[in-house]
Amino acid sequence: MTQSPNIMRFDPLLRAKTNELAQAVQCLRDALLLHETDSGSRKRARKEADKEKFGLAVEALACNLILLSAIESSPKLAVPRSHGFLWRGDGSANPVYGQHFLSAINGLASLGLIEEERRGYRLSARMRVPSLIRPSTALAQHLPLAPPDWRSVKQIDDRALIILKEGKDDDGRAATIAFRETANTRQLAGQMRRINEFLRSADIGVTGQNTGLSLGKDGQVIAPYRRSLRRIFNNDNWQHGGRLAGGFWMGMERGERFERIRIDGERIVDVDYRQLFPRLAYVRARKPQPVGDIYDVAGDGSGRDGWKTLMNAMLFSEGTLRGWPKDTLQHFPPGTKLRDAIKMLVARQAPIADLFGAGLGFQLMRIESDMLIGIITYLASIGVTALPLHDAVLVAESKADVAADAMHAAFSMGSGSSCAIVSVEFCER
């Protein structure tokens, strides 16, 4: 789906946090049910089970519209309408979705409580334009929109704490796969459940929200209630990937995280591994770690970002790369040919050259994600809040050394090597 910077993605996990909002949603649901009867849009009254489903859809829509109204940039809300999404055959569809969801949207529009800005359509197999709605002024008669009481909204945990996906197709998409529950999947889900329980009560704040909310680059609201995490595995293989997703901080720009996130009332630091994937590759190859910056292939610091992207692309690729990875070529001198860059890289990193093109990347990502799970679980056990971010954690400034020690220990346990390079980045003031 194409995503505009000023479009908020619908979140089916939003619910009423306060009794006042719950009562307002109940009244709104009853008004929509009465409208169905009076208008004749529904011939038979809903059964109680159907009323509950309908009410769930109304509650989720109401909470999304409240948050939408609190965002300073006045975005539109992108809502799913396609049958392929609302009625997924793999059983993974959220209970908010279904015909009751479409009926709730149609009812809100029919009563003039929302405005439908656009019906979605497909541009190509890979590109789709989403359906967009926004609240009308009349909706303020039913919901706290003037001003929008966004603190009355909460996010529940996703039922799917672990997600297994297929490999990406030619359009770059990866479908979710239904899987059989086993002792392994129960253990993985249990880890996530315990992490989410700790984060739910942690002192995590975002500054600058008294005047309104903002959207992250992922199209989700930047708000501290969005701290429920899930873990995503790739290529129909539990040994591939496993990175964490879902936290509000993941959609923020790097500088914005430092400026706005507070943990236990303190500014944060970013504690991260340096050159993690190639160093794990050296461990896998059972070769001594090279001295210095592995990504400094040229030896003078030039083009480092390009060499980093190229090297990691070669660790993920199966076979020889056929083209430059995205946003890579501009880091090299004009006229540089891919085959020459690869030849230079292979010569510089000869001890792990056999691993290039072997599709190792997702296995390294699984090691990385296991290490992060261990780190944030350990830190939680000693009362330290850590927000995971791929190969890094965000912690309060006073906990920087504790987090760095935990990351060194996790690397040693996960790789059998003590060669980790861990850096601590503070906010510039």
Mean pLDDT computed over every residue of the chain: 90
pLDDT in tens, 110-141: 999 999 988 876 654 555 678 899 999 999 99
pLDDT in tens, 236-286: 999 999 999 999 999 999 999 999 999 999 999 999 999 999 999 999 999
Q: Domain extents for the chain?
A: 7-155, 162-276+362-426
pLDDT in tens, 135-171: 999 999 999 998 899 999 999 888 889 999 998 755 5
CA 330 to chain centre: 28
